[in-house]
Amino acid sequence: MEPGFIEDAGESSKGFARWIAGPLERGAFGGAKRFGKERWQVDAFRCRQCAHLELFAGHRT
């Protein structure tokens, strides 16, 4: 497994979550340092019977 974190874009969201490669590093104002890091779209799948949820970073953005 590769370390990374999921970006929360808040109200300026593009409509999908992104996984960012590498450990979370915070900048001077507390936000995540993202410059130059790979970004991947997060796809989510949920089981209709048991509600189990799985996330996959399948498409580079």
* Encoded tokens for 26: 């915070």
pLDDT of residue 46: 97
What is the C-alpha separation between 57 and 26, in angstroms, rounded? 22
pTM, to two decimals = 0.74
What is the C-alpha separation between 59 and 61, in angstroms, rounded? 6
The average confidence (pLDDT) of the chain is: 89
pLDDT of residue 17: 86
Nearest in space to 56 (alpha carbons), one of 42, 38, 39 = 42
Domain range for residue 9? 4-60
SS3 call for 21: strand
Q: Which pLDDT band holds residue 39 (cuts at 50, 70, 90)? A: very high
Count the domains in the chain.
Answer: 1
pLDDT of residue 54: 96
Rg (CA), the chain: 13
